[in-house]
Amino acid sequence: MKCAFLDVDTVGDVDFSQIQQVTGDFARYTKAEFEQNSEAILADIEVIITNKVVINEDRLKLAPNLKLICVAATGYNIIDLTACEKHQVVVCNVTNYATNTVAQHVFALLLSWANQIKQYHQASVDGTWQRSQFFCLLDFPIFELAGKTLGIIGYGASGQKVAEIAKAFGMKVLIAERENATDLRPDRTEYKTVLAQADIISLHCPLTAENANFINTEFFQQLKPSCILVNTARGGLINEEALYNALSKQQIQAALLDGLSVEPAPHEHILIKNKLPNLIITPHTAWASQEARQVLIDEIANNIQAFIANEPRNRIGLEP
């Protein structure tokens, strides 16, 4: 099948041999190359792989032979599913490929903040340590994760992995029930109770139209001032102006974020330009270990192979 990856530069140094073997005709384009030659590329394509390139009605009209879209991600908001249904195009995504690396990133952020790694490194090399009359510095408070209460919102694969690691640190884990749920599941804690008791809140829910910006002013008012917010999910879950206000007014201790609502974030973004001391941001890299990226590519190959065998897997949007 004639297959093209439309933004191969988004996945970096991975082995594409499984996709090449399954399709037999596999072309790779950077996002810029695709945007410059989209009509020609789409004209006779049968399988599209896309991470962030939007596939909408206009582009589907340019691809009369298209049969399958493989999203190189779990989220598929870049795909117009209604248009795909109209054009009888199957859409598949990949789930749970970055469970370990996302959980690892959560604790990389937490430990960096808890142990003040950046500040103590700087103090070690800028002369501060050398001027000390003692063997160590105590300039920046350090705290232990043991004994802290971790509230998890979103309990899929990554949320479960974070809970497992947290327990190894000796943390108490509370799994939040849905905010307006009438029945409490056995392993869940009432939503408002989690917010009130948590020392750390970690987000692991997908971004939907219903939960966009649900981390807002009202949310922050329910947290302890010592609470830390960790987000390795989607930036759009957070109302960033409300977060800025909460951080600048010390309504919460800190926010540790992987990505923002707009990526890459512009220089004038409220959380970028103000350089808050209680904020750490990484550029949407929680998913991006080499191992996780390779699993992603290999799972895409499996999706294509299953489609060719008329047994689609990880299918979204269209009913089998």
234 catalytic? Reply is yes
Reported as half-sphere exposure (CB side, CA atoms, 13 A), residue 302 has a value of 13
Write out the chain's pLDDT in tens, 320 residues.
999 999 999 999 999 999 999 999 999 999 999 999 999 999 999 999 999 999 999 999 999 999 999 999 998 989 999 999 999 999 999 999 999 999 999 999 999 999 999 999 999 999 999 999 999 999 999 999 999 999 999 999 999 999 999 999 999 999 999 998 889 999 999 999 999 999 999 999 988 889 999 999 999 999 999 999 999 999 999 999 999 999 999 999 999 999 999 999 999 999 999 999 999 999 999 999 999 999 999 999 999 999 999 999 999 974 54
269 catalytic? Reply is no
Coil, strand or helix: which one is 90? Answer: strand
| Cβ neighbours of residue 72 closer than 8 Å, sequence gap 6 or more | 5, 10, 11, 49, 50, 51, 94, 296, 297, 300
The CATH number of 2-97+290-316, from 3.40.50.720, 3.40.50.970, 3.30.9.10, 3.40.630.30, is 3.40.50.720
Which phi and psi (to 5°) does residue 69 adopt?
-115, 120
Which residue type sits at 182?
Answer: T
Query: d(Cα 278, Cα 290) in Å, to the nearest integer?
Result: 29
Q: Per the residue annotation, which of 144, 164, 218, 263 is the catalytic one?
A: 263
The superfamily in CATH containing domain 99-282 is NAD(P)-binding Rossmann-like Domain (3.40.50.720)
First to last CA, the chain: 21
Task: Evaluate whether 2-97+290-316 and 99-282 have a shared fold.
Answer: yes
Domain ranges of the chain: 2-97+290-316, 99-282
46 catalytic? Reply is no
Query: d(Cα 162, Cα 170) in Å, to the nearest integer?
Result: 13
Q: Per the residue annotation, which of 177, 234, 293, 299 is the catalytic one?
A: 234
Q: Per the residue annotation, which of 87, 188, 269, 284 is the catalytic one?
A: 284
User: pTM (2 decimals)?
Assistant: 0.92
Query: d(Cα 273, Cα 269) in Å, to the nearest integer?
Result: 6
In contact, 203 and 232? CB cutoff 8 Å: yes
Torsion on CA atoms 73, 78, 82, 84, rounded to nearest 10: -70
